Amino acid sequence: MLIMMPIFNFYVLFGVTFLLSFLIVWYWQKALRAKEILDRPNERSSHSIPTPRAGGVGIFLSFFIGLSFLWILIQKTNMGDVFLLAGSLFVFCVGLMDDFQSTKRRVRLSIHFIASFFIIIWMWNPFQDWAASFGFGIFFPAFLCGLWILGIVWSINLFNFMDGINGIAGMEAVFLSSALAILFAYENRGEQIFYKLILLSVATLGFIIWNFPRAVVFLGDAGSGFLGYVIAAFASYAYLVVDISIWTLLTISSLFWMDATFTILKRLQKKEKIFNAHNSHAYQILARKWKSHASVTIAFSIVNVLILLPLGFAMQRFEDLASLLFLILLIVMASLYLKISQLEEKNAT
């Protein structure tokens, strides 16, 4: 059962969180510009103007400040919030370090794995029940735990991979957090997580004003990693506790993870080093083809809201058809990705 706060408190909390994010990002980018600490474009960049980084600091700070006021309003906290804060802090700090001074890949990944384990600890009881339902013995839960941690690490890095044009990562985060909140309301479950999802959405909107359609500041590794982490945490809760279908979760997030996955497979096929910087994602190809970041970000948002969200709801409602619908989606997405990739190859020849 969702906890219903008085409507006035609801609007004030989210309005203040949005405003706080907006003001923190404004001050942050102004300070970096004054000190000329800027991300300067190179041959792989999708931007052409030196721009401050790590604007995600506004999302991070405003979200957890808003969360502290949420605790006061509903007069209820749990250990999950502690684990979420601890893991988020690990991911945010290593990302912030990398925004200003490159850190070794193995250091970043080690921190990501440690942070991911905090989510497993938070979800340990429902995770155990879920793993035991397969009935494959005592070692199978450990295998599933490893896969789950890999999935969380993938989500952290996924947002970093896909944060390459104005507004796209922020808009995706707003969509996913809002979509999960709607699904929680539809199932009439999720309690405090529902409000945390709205908090994340409005905190991200406060940043987006400075990042879209023109980028005054970039999200940075600190912001993209944080968003990937908390969305993975809330998606884990959605699946393990609220019983949101895995097909629904994969569908509403498909534009991001399919683009990143298909791009990695393409680069492996070409024997390219997948960890090296590049600009061969489908969204980057479209941005060059259309000569517009904003058009691509808007197109992604339209597909999310008008196609993927209704399809995700259909999968949640009609469970027997969910796997078939997802297979059709996968085929359609793969075909579109191949067509977009061919656009780049034609231009190269």
Q: Would you kindly state where each structural domain of the chain is located, as residue ranges?
A: 1-244, 246-349
Indicate the average pLDDT of the chain: 89
pLDDT over 60 (residue 3): no
pLDDT over 70 (residue 42): no
Residue 278, exposed/middle/buried by CB under 10 A (0-12, 13-18, 19+)?
middle
The larger pLDDT score, comparing residue 238 to residue 10, is at: 238
**What's the rounded mean pLDDT across residues 315-322?**
93
Q: What are phi and psi of 13, to 5 degrees?
A: -60, -50
pLDDT given at position 227 = 97
pLDDT given at position 94 = 96
Place of tokens 């879920």: 130
Residues in CB range of 330: below 8 A, 6 or more apart: 258
pLDDT given at position 4 = 52
Encode pLDDT of 149-172 as tens digits. Answer: 999 999 999 999 898 899 999 999
Hey, what are 8's tokens? 């006035």
Encode pLDDT of 100-123 as tens digits. Answer: 988 898 999 999 999 999 999 999
Helix (H, G, I), strand (E, B) or coil at 286: helix
Q: Are 164 and 279 in contact (CB under 8 A)?
A: yes
**What's the rounded mean pLDDT across residues 55-61?**
96
Q: Are 194 and 122 in contact (CB under 8 A)?
A: no
pLDDT given at position 268 = 86
Residues in CB range of 111: below 8 A, 6 or more apart: 90, 91, 93, 94
Q: What are phi and psi of 39, to 5 degrees?
A: -85, 110
**What's the rounded mean pLDDT across residues 236-259?**
95
pLDDT given at position 270 = 82
Hey, what are 178's tokens? 């809002």
Residue 237, exposed/middle/buried by CB under 10 A (0-12, 13-18, 19+)?
buried
pLDDT over 80 (residue 207): yes
pLDDT given at position 44 = 61
pLDDT given at position 78 = 77
pLDDT over 60 (residue 91): yes
Q: Are 29 and 52 in contact (CB under 8 A)?
A: yes
pLDDT over 90 (residue 224): yes
pLDDT given at position 314 = 95
From 344, 207, 203, select the one nearest 287 (Cα to Cα): 344
Q: Are 203 and 148 in contact (CB under 8 A)?
A: no
Encode pLDDT of 272-318 as tens digits. Answer: 877 777 788 899 999 999 999 999 999 999 999 999 999 999 999 99
